[in-house]
Amino acid sequence: MCGIVGCILKDDEDVAPILLDCISKLEYRGYDSIGIATFHDNHINVKKDKGKIEEVDNKLDLADMPGNFGIAHVRWATHGDPSKLNSHPQLDEDNTVAVVHNGIIENYLEIKEKLTLEGHVFKSDTDTEVIPHLIQKFIKEKFDLEHAVRKTIDVIEGAYAIAAISLNEPDKIVATRKDSPLIVGIGDGGYYLASDSPAILKYARDIIYPERGEIVILDKEGVVVHDEFDNVVNKDIETINWTPEMAEKEGYDHFMIKEINEQASAVRNTLTQKENIQNIIDDLEGIERICFVACGTSYHASLTGKYLIESLAGIPTDVVLASEFKYSANTLNDKTLVIFISQSGETADSLKALDVANQTSKTLGIVNVAGSSITRRAQYVIQTQAGPEIGVAATKTYLSQLTAIYLFAALISNNAELLKELDNVPDFIDESLENVDLIEDLSRRYNFARDFFYLGRGYSYPTALEGALKLKEITYIHGEGYAAGELKHGPLALIDEGIPVVVIIPPGDNYRKTMSNLEEVKSRGANVLAIGAANDESLKAKADDVIPINENVKEIIAPLIYIVPLQLIAYYITLEKGHDPDKPKNLAKCVTVE
């Protein structure tokens, strides 16, 4: 998704190197173009083009721009191809207003038509370009920049975080948001805007979170926030406890492998949320039904939650994809707890569903990013403690989401045994990472496959889905996760000689039935790669390859450990194929459009 940054420095230093540094930290969001605008000597300088930041920087020398304030953008194309013209900043035709935008302007075509009739000439295919044109039009009607932005947001519909600069008002950046993320940083040397905190951690950790419709004005003296009636809003300043180093690779080749290696501590840190979770449970009286809402990997964590809560607490639990949630809204009431699971806390589909759920039900967000929109709109919040996750593929945040869900399920069902079991999980995770040499070897053998199947039963079924998703998103190999017992109802027809089938088969109640499914695929020629207990000799005899996991890992906690080799398989196959695991094509870390 697009990322925006803005900065105004207190002294007369050039801001471009800082803007470039900050916007580079948003590469992880997924992008195809980069651009910067600075203000200097009554002129807006713009450098922008399609391509990776490094390529465009080599061509245009992005840090070499005069001016002590400006805005920057990484674009993830929605309207119009990736190209220089469609890159942001977008400007009005006289180059008097520059704007960066994250989100989608839904009514841009009708605005464009109207402005064209008024004589405006548009150069790009973007929805964004209407914004600088509208701001310029209102400035010509004698509004100052703040009020021109205010008038503009009365006209545009959709989701946006916007930052604008204007020739008419030197030394000022005006920003606003609706349904797209935007934070404001207060640093020693200046004031900052960003789509996400990793962009500015190095410069500012005191953060203001603007609400929808608030207008933020940054100048050399400080930050002022106005509500829709022009009143000054006294915003709380919250200090982020993430450090700049946490958002660096720290010697690892990729963020993804760093984050996989940080999973034991992500789980350990999230286990500290036990008291907070108990307090929330104590407050939730009369809950008769739970409904999880999430997307992607967070959806898979939610599915594990259904298995846990229904089997341990006997509370009927549904799991709904956030983008499909509105069709379930009629079933909600005040005895329903709707739990939103999200790494970013900014996923547009989940936010829309949260607004619906808040009208009838109790809502709880389980979120990794502090201060994000879900944490501000849900009635209860559990903060997972994974630290910043930069790799696009969710890994350590998945395990920290699972940890919070396990704590919730264990506490709501008073299951002391499970609580105790959870304390062993970090060591089991670290031990599972010792399989890395074996997995590298398997990845060399399996990377030519075109299709993979992942099978699991019960608690291991969501793990199969998540393993397949990791494979698809970073290796671009087709992977399907199935409930092992479902395969014979259709997909078995796809099993051919040599097709890799990953079977998740921890010891426990589902073991024997899963073993029968393993034999079904084996007898049809599949190449079985099993993840099972280290002391399981019969598994070793039946599968082609086995990745061993400590035999003391019980089936109920297996999702927290058995996923680790599946993440590693996806990572090493990606390296074999020569792709960048941190930035898979077409994907974005934070999906702020519906």
Residues in contact with ligand F6R by CB under 6 A are 295-298, 342-344, 347, 350, 393-394, 469, 473, 591
Strand partners, 545: 529
Phi, psi of 463 (to 5 degrees): -65, -40
**2 labelled catalytic:** yes
**Closest listed residue to residue 211, CA positions, set 436, 398, 373:** 373
| Residue number with CB closer to ligand F6R (36 or 295) | 295
- Least distance to ligand F6R from the beta carbon of 35, Å? 25
- Least distance to ligand F6R from the beta carbon of 106, Å? 21
- Sheet of 173-178: strand order equals 90-91, 97-105, 158-166, 173-178, 215-219, 222-226
| Residue number with CB closer to ligand F6R (530 or 588) | 588
CB 101 within 8 A of CB 162: yes
CB 380 within 8 A of CB 365: yes
- Sheet of 451-456: strand order equals 478-483, 451-456, 500-505, 527-533, 545-549
Extract the tokens encoding 324.
């499909």
Reading phi first (left if > 0) and then psi (alpha if -120 to 50, else beta), residue 217 is in beta
Q: What angle do CA 180, 183, 187 make, to 5 degrees?
A: 160
Q: Which residue has the tokens 């003391």?
A: 552
- Least distance to ligand F6R from the beta carbon of 296, Å? 2
Q: Cα–Cα distance between 90 and 573 in angstroms, integer?
A: 39
- Sheet of 33-40: strand order equals 43-50, 33-40, 69-75, 3-9, 190-194, 183-186, 206-208, 238-239
Extract the tokens encoding 121.
């000439």
**488 labelled catalytic:** no
Task: From the candidates 2, 7, 291, 295, give the one annotated as an active-site residue.
Answer: 2
Strand partners, 528: 501
| Residue number with CB closer to ligand F6R (49 or 466) | 466
| Residue number with CB closer to ligand F6R (49 or 346) | 346
Residues 6+ apart with CB under 8 A from 5: 19, 22, 23, 26, 71, 72, 73, 100, 192, 193, 194, 195, 199, 200
- Least distance to ligand F6R from the beta carbon of 325, Å? 13
- Least distance to ligand F6R from the beta carbon of 475, Å? 13
- Least distance to ligand F6R from the beta carbon of 367, Å? 8
Classify burial at 513, counting beta carbons within 10 Å of its beta carbon; exposed 0-12, middle 13-18, buried 19 or more: middle
Phi, psi of 70 (to 5 degrees): 180, -175
| Residue number with CB closer to ligand F6R (317 or 350) | 350
| Residue number with CB closer to ligand F6R (287 or 587) | 587
Extract the tokens encoding 255.
């963020």
- Least distance to ligand F6R from the beta carbon of 175, Å? 22
- Least distance to ligand F6R from the beta carbon of 534, Å? 28
Task: From the candidates 47, 396, 470, 589, give the one annotated as an active-site residue.
Answer: 589
- Sheet of 317-321: strand order equals 317-321, 289-294, 336-342, 362-367, 380-383
Q: Cα–Cα distance between 556 and 547 in angstroms, integer?
A: 19
- Helices and strands (H and E) in the chain: how many: 19, 24
Which position's Cβ is nearest ligand F6R? 296
- Least distance to ligand F6R from the beta carbon of 564, Å? 15
Dmax (CA) for the chain in angstroms is 81
Classify burial at 314, counting beta carbons within 10 Å of its beta carbon; exposed 0-12, middle 13-18, buried 19 or more: exposed
Q: Cα–Cα distance between 120 and 134 in angstroms, integer?
A: 10
| Residue number with CB closer to ligand F6R (39 or 572) | 572
| Residue number with CB closer to ligand F6R (47 or 589) | 589
- Least distance to ligand F6R from the beta carbon of 180, Å? 14
- Least distance to ligand F6R from the beta carbon of 592, Å? 10
Residues 6+ apart with CB under 8 A from 39: 45, 67, 69, 70, 165, 167, 170, 171
Q: Which residue has the tokens 């930290």?
A: 25
Strand partners, 439: none
| Residue number with CB closer to ligand F6R (180 or 510) | 180
Q: Looking at the annotation, which residues are catalytic? A: 2, 589
